[in-house]
Amino acid sequence: MNRPSIVWKLYIAAFYIFLFAPLLIVAIFAFNSSPFPSPPWRGFTLEWFTGSGAVFGKPGVLLDPIWLDSIGNSFKVAVPVALLAVLLGTVNAWVLERAEFRGKTVLAMMMLWPLVIPGVVLGISILAFFSRVANGLEEWLQTDLDFLRPGLPLVILGQLSFILTIATLIIAARLRKFDRSLEEAAFDLGASRARVLRTITLPFLSPALIGAGLVAMLMSFENFNTTLMLVGSEPPLPITMYGQMREGATPAINAVSLLLMLGVGGIASIFALTAKAER
């Protein structure tokens, strides 16, 4: 088995071409000087990035309020999701690795649930539940509670429901490797609990905290299924892309996709570097 046949090698090569063909096509046609994202090739242009719309009638990504607003909305969701995921994920990791109580195995198993629930079902269940809560509270308080209706706050909660599992697992894995004698040594030397946490435990955890934050941000930015069910009038980027893809888009969508690929590539390489530092 150690001498791979030529057929096997050809298959591997074909596989990697298959893997990258769609992404390459998307990237290449971001620069096509044509009003449609399709062949033939009509020459190189940056119009779909920086154009004002004078050439093709539609502006490029960086001047189009639709795209800019969507990117803004995505950040408005991704940043809180990442911060909450890291903060709450750290506490959860602590519970899993350090605390002793009855029912811990049950809780640990329940934390995995969100990963086996289809995203669409997570979305509708949260939508239905928070609508009921809003209906009840509004009747009682006699005010409108818009943040419980479809919109960015609900999208944040919906995404957090499963991203928190992933953040918890990443941080717990790091905490498990921690040598507790380091903490004990600090206690013996007279350090307070808060000081030990700040100078010993958190610095040890920091690669995992950064990693979990980046992964959370990435997953938030790319989530579609759950977001679709909870979105209001401010669509994040994947929702806008979906709408444009159904209606027929200009190559501006290729330009957005390329920017997204570059952003993701950047985040992924930071993540790979922190993961390396962890070892």
- Nearest distance, CB of residue 237 and another protein, angstroms: 8
**Structure tokens of 86?**
């890291």
- Nearest distance, CB of residue 183 and another protein, angstroms: 16
- Nearest distance, CB of residue 206 and another protein, angstroms: 20
Q: Which is nearer to another protein, 40 or 57 (CB)?
A: 40
- Nearest distance, CB of residue 142 and another protein, angstroms: 19
- Nearest distance, CB of residue 200 and another protein, angstroms: 19
